[in-house]
Structure 1
Amino acid sequence: MLWRVLTETYQAGPAILHLERYGHGPAVVLIHGLSGSSRWWRRNVPALAEAHEVFVLDLAGYGRAWRQPALGVQAAAQLIATWLEERDMTGVTLIGHSMGGQISLRVAALVPGRVDLLVLACASGLLTSTPTRAALNLPRAVLVGRPSFVPRIVADALRAGPRNLWRSASDLLRDSVEELLPQIRIPTLVIWGGRDALVPVELGRALAAAIPGAEYHEIPRAGHVVMVDAPGTFNRLVLGFLQSHRRA
């Protein structure tokens, strides 16, 4: 059964997070990527909410928070870390996609006593490019993904607007997490789409290799939005990871 609590907001200074909360149990926080929104997790929330309290975020500048200026990676991470501290949340699992994975790494480093587990889905952070060059890969990324999801990608990108997209893309490409990775000492699962045209699988393998003890799984026919392209496999991998470490 899936429970839903009314949408909440959290504000620190001018920055606002929009949240939806589902289920009961240990906390799981879902963080979308560049041009995304909370809607990108709809194929995953029901499975996770069976045994967890799931918080689905809309980052400033995106989704329900589209009227806000987008924050940089580190500012977004600080906002989420402050929210976790103010709610006194512990034993948290962070699940981040693309830019959301990069933000999740930063949050885990800021409040290590509150984050127990980390799941990184096609996470940025090691990508070296420019916003213009990265944009050239977008058509191929769309073509290899789930066709029925294209309208959602387009709608969320239009809602965020070019200014927020450019600001986020420029910032995440400047914010390398390479030096941070050896400091991540919590169990980490890295999941990648084998056909990812935006963040190549070589970067996923390098990311996992740099995090002590990280598990790495590649889903061959999935693209960049791996949790949408292969939701059944993604959910099974995540739930297996959570169950094995919760028991431990």
Structure 2
Amino acid sequence: MSSGVYERSGVKLHYRVSGEGPPMVLVHGLSGSGRWWRRNLPALTQHHRVYSLDLSGYGAARRQRALSVRESAALIASWLEAEDLHNITLIGHSMGGHICIRVAAGYPQRIQNLVLVCASGLLKASAYRTALNLPRALITGRKRFVPRILTDALLAGPLNLWRSASDLLKDSVLDCLPQITARTLVVWGERDALVPLPLGKLLAESIPGAHLTVIPHAGHVVMVDAPEPFNAAVLNFVDGPQASG
């Protein structure tokens, strides 16, 4: 595994690269980091060159100001151009899915497949009410992952978390969903307490040709709660049944 940093206008995007094959880009959610995909990388890197991003304000980029959804989308699009990546499978979780929607709608020429994992783009709630659901979200998810969630949240800091949460709750993607031309898979945890399943169904219905996969018993961090079904769903969608194992 190698790592890199892309900088534009003084803002840095950190990423790790592993595997070989068609490009796959992973974008983490609010309070997360690229390490949230570690249970998925062994399967995904068998078929793809996988880029795991750390957004500004998070993970390895935690010393920076967190960007808005639209600013993050523009930075990622600029990085994709700098890396000259094409026919990309773009995968985003929660806030990362929200950002990926903006990337796919605004820069369709580079995105072949879009995978939205419990994406936040249609969530309508106050930041305070969303925060109240966090304990329930921790309870419904994999308990052994709680230390990683808390560690990454502490590293990001309350100001970045509040800035990101406030911005994403104000940015509805409903108007840009019909513009998405990439093949789209929407993946949701059946027990998601932060972004409820009905929003996943609405998201899938609003994107032309999108497919919805619901993973039983999984919570909001579905790729951690149920990595094997998640990996199989993604690889089956992107590469066909022979790749999912």
TM-score in terms of structure 1 length: 0.96
Give the equivalent residue in structure 2 for 1:146. Answer: 142
Match of 1:76 in 2: 72
Match of 1:101, SS? helix
Structure 2 residue runs of 5 or longer lacking an equivalent are: none
Which position in structure 1 is the counterpart of 2:209? 213
- d(CA) in 1 for partners of 2:9 and 2:106? 19
- Aligned-pair identity in percent equals 60
Shift of 1:244: 3.1
2:67 equivalent to 1:67:
no
Question: Aligned AA for 2:84?
Answer: D
Distance in structure 1 (CA, Å) of the matches to 2:179 and 2:240: 22
Question: How many Å apart are 1:46 and its aligned residue?
Answer: 1.1
Tell me if 1:236 matches 2:232.
Answer: yes
Is the partner of 1:50 in helix, strand or coil? coil
Counterpart in the other structure of 2:181: 185
Corresponding residue pairs, total = 243
Of residues 17, 21, 30, the one that matches 2:17 is 21
Distance across 1 between alignment mates of 2:57 and 2:34: 12
Does the 8 A contact of 2:123 with 2:199 survive in 1?
yes
Tell me the distance in 2 between the aligned counterparts of 1:107 and 1:15.
Answer: 18
TM alignment of 1:130-141, pairs within 5 A = 130-141=126-137
Structure 2 CA distance, aligned partners of 1:112 and 1:212? 14
Cα pair 2:105 2:181 within 8 Å, conserved: no
Note the alpha carbon deviations across 1:109-147, whole angstroms, 9 max, x for none: 221111110000000000001111100000000000000
1:182 offset after TM fit, Å? Answer: 1.1
Task: Let me know the Cα RMSD of the aligned residues.
Answer: 1.3
How far off its partner does 1:228 sit? 0.2
Q: Matched residues in 2 for 1:215 and 1:189: separation?
A: 5
- Partner-residue secondary structure (3-state), 1:30: strand
Partner of 1:120: 116
The alignment's TM-score, normalised by the length of structure 2, stands at: 0.97
Shift of the alpha carbon at 1:96?
0.2
Letter in 2 for 1:228: V
**Rounded Cα–Cα distance in structure 1 between residues aligned with 2:182 and 2:240:** 14
Q: Report the counterpart of residue 227 of structure 1 in structure 2.
A: 223
